[in-house]
Amino acid sequence: MKINIDIIKKIIYLKKGNMNKVRLIYLILSGLSLGLGVCIYILFRDISHLLIIEKMNLTGNAFVELKPSLMNNVLKYNLPDMFWFISGILVLRFIWFPKKREQYIYVLCFYLIGAVFEISQLSKNIPGTFDYLDLFFISMGALIEGLLYKYYIIRSMK
């Protein structure tokens, strides 16, 4: 499979100088955030029950057992959700970077969908386990990303 460099350049770069770098940084940080969440999940959770693992007939596990404690449970259960959520926000900021109004709408919708999905796990119709700490960490991740965006990115572009 050959990758067309011109298409990638059109996706990543804008016509204004510094915006190109900021937009590329969003894409890189999104990948790192997603990767970090996946690594934590794979290292500290038993993934042998996942459908994709069963279908691919994969054996072995990188599972590291942690002693039960609040901090270990936060690492094991809540931080991956936070990193995945931040990754989604960063991808939306990357895609809609030149269009601020659309960016705000999509990021707000993403916040709402994440919160509704977590809260709907109370009904047992949505797979997963409801956890107040998930809501807290997702909110903290969104707050930190929003503050960094507001105070560093928006101010630097003025």
Grade residue 43 by pLDDT with cuts at 50, 70 and 90: confident
Query: In angstroms, rounded to a whole number, what is the distance separating the alpha carbons of residues 59 and 61?
Result: 7
What is the tens place of the pLDDT at every residue in 78-111? 999 999 999 999 998 888 877 878 888 888 898 8
The one-character DSSP state at 130 is: -
| pLDDT (mean) for 52-57 | 57
Query: In angstroms, rounded to a whole number, what is the distance separating the alpha carbons of residues 90 and 136?
Result: 19
Say yes or no to pLDDT of 12 above 90.
no
